[in-house]
Structure 1
Amino acid sequence: MIEKRQFYINGAWVDPVVANDFPVIDPSTEEEVAVISLGDQADTDAAVAAANAAFPAWSATDPAERVALVEKILEVYNARAEEMAQAMTLEMGAPISMSRSSQVTSGSWHIEGFLETMKDFEFVRKLNDHSPNDRIIMEPIGTVAMITPWNWPMNQVALKVIPALLAGCTMVLKPSEIAPLSSLLWTEILDEAGVPAGVYNMVNGDGPGVGSQLSAHPGIDMVSFTGSTRAGILISKAAADTLKRVSLELGGKGANLVFADADAKAVERGVRHMMQNTGQSCNAPSRMLVQREIYDQTVEAARQAAENTAVASAHEEGRHMGPLVSQMQWDKVQGLIEKGIAEGARLVAGGPGRPEGLNRGYFVRPTVFADVTNDMTIAREEIFGPVLSIIPFDTEEEAVRIANDTVYGLTNYAQTQDPERQRRMAHALKAGMVEINGVSRAKTSPFGGIKQSGNGREGGEFGLEDYLEVKAVGGYPAE
């Protein structure tokens, strides 16, 4: 049993003011594997006070000093990569091979991206060539509360902590209480790298407790949150009284438009993307919109791809799908699969219950529904499980209308060989991100959405600027 009850406040590991044990469950076995403590108001207050006290000195450091620190963090992170992979597999059920190849490397990938961004980033810049005495000064916003999810732990932690450090902010991290082990290790990494006392703090806790306390705290200048849209709304309301900045990366219901001229691998690629991380990704392409001419063959290809998706323990090596993160998530996904059947969608692969041979662990069957209409629950709600809904369309205009008919707007996808259509899709699809023919966005590209998928952007220059205030200065001495 792993025992990790302490928090990291003001450069030291400290006991909670009041003991409040919380179990960490291995999703592959349903067994308790670790215990942490959940913080309360006194712990939150101590962490915020430490961050506030550290801000004046840290915000005044030379950006080169902050870059050197992040370079050291990257070095230590890479040295402890196997520990990190094992932690995420244990806490949230990512298969160990995927933890190594995707979960761990997503963190290092973003750290590298922010270091690249800093090479050309100007904290003091001219307004324009016609105003020699005007300057724009980019200054750190202050103390930031960071509330991160369980599905891509290091991806989200790195996307928040690293730009905040580089901007000159101080911070308090509250990771997911059901997947805290990776963030505890991350905290050890930052401590080993030499982050000054008070600049970075970490308090475990749940949403109603530490999460709500940070969101409403008068000592917090900004909240950066990744998670459900429901929680994002609550955080926005809690933050409103103090008018702090709120950056939200929330849910999604991505549409993947497969046109008749799509490449031969488009359907398999779409199913594989949907099933990655057991469907627990906000940018999952969960609605596959298919042109009528290729509909039947696409449904068959999707069925085969789903049935060829192996499911096994996260602790086994190899390429397969692991469990969902928790009993609550398993129950939710099962309920939505049953809802799809009840509302008349045609089940072509998977379905309710565990896969054959797996009677313990939060495992689900890779599931595909055909003949879905966009008003069905499985087409409207974010399932956050390996459930694909296939919807037919006749014309490009109809496809765009269906794709955009959602409260979400995170990522949409288009599969077509027509360059003109590719350009039209890039403009017509209402989302923060669009990917065409399976081409992922570059390292420093901004991640984020519109509508109920949130606001703000993470990654690269846009992600760095989220942690900065803009100061306009007139009468600045010409150089």
Structure 2
Amino acid sequence: MREYLKFYIDGQWVDPVELRLLDVENPATEQVCGRIAIGSSADVDRAVSAARAAFVSWSQSTREERLDLLQALLAEYQRRSADLAHAVTEEMGAPPALAAGPQVQMGVGHLVTAIDVLKNFSFEQSRGSTLVVKEPIGVCGLITPWNWPLNQIACKVYPALATGCTVVLKPSEVAPFSGQVFTEIIAAAGVPAGVYNMVHGDGPGVGVALSSHPAVDMVSFTGSTRAGIEVARNAAPTVKRVAQELGGKSPNIVLDDESFTASVAGGVASMMLNSGQSCNAPSRMLVPRARMQEAAAVATATAEQVKVGNPADRTAIGPVASRAQFDKIQRLIQAGMDEGADVVAGGPGRPDGLDVGYYVRPTVFANVSNDMTVAREEIFGPVLCILGYEDLDEAVSIGNDTDYGLYGYVSGADLEQARAVARRIRAGTVSINHAIDISAPFGGYKQSGNGREWGEFAFHDFLEIKGIVGYGSGVDA
């Protein structure tokens, strides 16, 4: 059983100011698989002080010094990749193929991307006699979630370090093991003392202290919209920058063309990845109303092929992350049934033969209307809603009729038509035929947040812009 009772502050593993313990449960077994110490505002004070002191020198480091550090991180991350995968499997119940594959490898991808961006990123630009300088914003509080733990740590920590910021990380207390191993990687790679700090804890004890701390210049948060609102409220009195990557209810508009069957099947498969626990999951599939029955049949057949709980099968999905999440999903599945949506696959309860673990039946609702609870609320589980449309104007209207705007999808063979539809979707990213690009900007419109992560776009959130007027003229202005 894992036991992580120290925090990483100022280059050292240190005891909490006051030792308080939290059990960590493996959602595949419902058994305690470890415990962590959870911090307090006093621990956050120590970590922020270390980060503030280290910022003086790290903010003045050269591009070459930061590139060397990121390269060292890459080597150490790759060396510990198996340890990271084992941690994700224990904390999330993720099948090994998912843990060692996308869960761990997204961390590699973001690091390679950050290195490539840093090599050529322009931190200065002359505009006449004015020099525009992009400088590190300062001490950054990073609060990350449990669903893609390494992805979210990576896409915050790497650009922060690359731009000369110092950080205090709070990994999710639901899935803290991968954050602990990531911090061991940081220490082994030789990150200077105080540049990176990590405090385990929960939202009330550490998250609030970090987002409200007067010596934190910026907080980057990924999680629910509800929690993101609280982070913004806590940050408001000190007018710090807040970057938020929040919830989603992403539309997937399936075009009426010769690839219809493949598009529907692909949308179901994409929805079930990571047991549906992705903020950008294509959870609302929009199909021509006249082809609803056909879409439902394809979706049913596809969902019934999704294996649950078999870690040796790459097509298998694991449990959802916690009992609280399981209970929420069951409540929402029941709400869909009560409101008249047709369950064509799955439904409430666990899959047959899985009486232990927070496993959810891959579920598909057909004939969903956009005012139903399952079409409005983020379910965050392997649950797909299929809605009908008369024409593409209505499809776009339904797709945009949501409080969220994180992601959208267009699926079909007609690329020109897909491009035209993609331009009309109000979301931070729109994927045509489920394309993936980790250099593309990732972030949301509306209640899906603000700011952008991934690639060069992530760098901008961690930079302040300074204009030095008269720099090139030698004349006072």
Residues 6-21 of structure 1: pairs in structure 2 closer than 5 A: 6-21=6-21
Indicate the SS of the match to 1:403: helix
Residues 132-211 of structure 1: pairs in structure 2 closer than 5 A: 133-211=129-207
Tell me the equivalent position of 1:265. 262
Tell me the equivalent position of 1:358. 354
CA deviation map 1:366-414 (0-9, x unaligned): 0000010000000000000000000011111100000000000011111
Contact kept, 8 Å, 2:93 with 2:319, in 1: the verdict is yes
Tell me the equivalent position of 2:454. 459
TM-score by length of 2: 0.97
1:367 equivalent in alignment to 2:363: yes
CA deviation map 1:112-159 (0-9, x unaligned): 1111111220111223xxx1x221101000000000000001100000
Residues 288-327 of structure 1: pairs in structure 2 closer than 5 A: 288-312=285-309, 314=311, 316=312, 318-327=314-323
- Report the Cα distance in structure 1 between the residues aligned to 2:414 and 2:267, rounded to whole angstroms: 19
* CA deviation after TM superposition for structure 1 residue 438, in Å: 2.3
Residue type at the aligned position of 1:303: T
Q: CA RMSD in A?
A: 1.2
Contact kept, 8 Å, 1:286 with 1:388, in 2: the verdict is yes
- Would you identify which runs of 4 or more consecutive aligned residues in structure 1 move more than 6 Å? none
- Report the Cα distance in structure 1 between the residues aligned to 2:164 and 2:310, rounded to whole angstroms: 42
Tell me the equivalent position of 2:41. 41
Tell me the equivalent position of 1:280. 277
Tell me the equivalent position of 1:82. 82
- Report the Cα distance in structure 2 between the residues aligned to 1:237 and 1:443, rounded to whole angstroms: 30
CA deviation map 1:171-216 (0-9, x unaligned): 1000000100000000000100000000000000101110001111
Tell me the equivalent position of 2:219. 223
User: Which of residues 425, 432, 435 in structure 1 aligns to 2:428?
Assistant: 432
Indicate the SS of the match to 1:223: strand
Residues 371-410 of structure 1: pairs in structure 2 closer than 5 A: 371-410=367-406
Tell me the equivalent position of 1:339. 335
Contact kept, 8 Å, 1:114 with 1:444, in 2: the verdict is no
- Report the Cα distance in structure 2 between the residues aligned to 1:262 and 1:211, rounded to whole angstroms: 49
Tell me the equivalent position of 2:71. 71
- Report the Cα distance in structure 2 between the residues aligned to 1:269 and 1:308, rounded to whole angstroms: 13
- Report the Cα distance in structure 1 between the residues aligned to 2:440 and 2:404, rounded to whole angstroms: 20
User: Which of residues 466, 469, 476 in structure 2 aligns to 1:474?
Assistant: 469
Residue type at the aligned position of 1:22: L
Contact kept, 8 Å, 1:291 with 1:392, in 2: the verdict is yes
Contact kept, 8 Å, 2:252 with 2:411, in 1: the verdict is yes
Q: 1:313 to 1:27 in 2, by over 3 A?
A: farther
Indicate the SS of the match to 2:66: helix
- Report the Cα distance in structure 1 between the residues aligned to 2:429 and 2:473, rounded to whole angstroms: 40
* CA deviation after TM superposition for structure 1 residue 478, in Å: 7.2
Indicate the SS of the match to 2:247: coil
Residue type at the aligned position of 1:373: S
* CA deviation after TM superposition for structure 1 residue 418, in Å: 2.7
Residue type at the aligned position of 1:47: A
Contact kept, 8 Å, 1:366 with 1:387, in 2: the verdict is yes
1:232 equivalent in alignment to 2:228: yes
Residue type at the aligned position of 1:118: L
1:330 equivalent in alignment to 2:335: no
Indicate the SS of the match to 1:36: strand
Indicate the SS of the match to 2:368: coil
Contact kept, 8 Å, 2:292 with 2:366, in 1: the verdict is no
Indicate the SS of the match to 1:172: strand
- Report the Cα distance in structure 1 between the residues aligned to 2:8 and 2:415, rounded to whole angstroms: 52
Contact kept, 8 Å, 2:249 with 2:280, in 1: the verdict is yes
Contact kept, 8 Å, 2:67 with 2:119, in 1: the verdict is no
- Report the Cα distance in structure 2 between the residues aligned to 1:109 and 1:364, rounded to whole angstroms: 30
- Report the Cα distance in structure 1 between the residues aligned to 2:146 and 2:368, rounded to whole angstroms: 29
- Report the Cα distance in structure 2 between the residues aligned to 1:478 and 1:100, rounded to whole angstroms: 56
TM-score by length of 1: 0.97
Tell me the equivalent position of 1:443. 438
Residue type at the aligned position of 1:237: R
Tell me the equivalent position of 1:105. 105
Contact kept, 8 Å, 1:28 with 1:313, in 2: the verdict is no
* CA deviation after TM superposition for structure 1 residue 262, in Å: 5.4
Indicate the SS of the match to 2:238: coil
- Report the Cα distance in structure 2 between the residues aligned to 1:309 and 1:318, rounded to whole angstroms: 10
Residue type at the aligned position of 2:221: F
Contact kept, 8 Å, 2:389 with 2:395, in 1: the verdict is yes
Which region of structure 1 is more displaced relative to structure 2, 292-301 or 269-278? 292-301
Which region of structure 1 is more displaced relative to structure 2, 46-55 or 260-269? 260-269
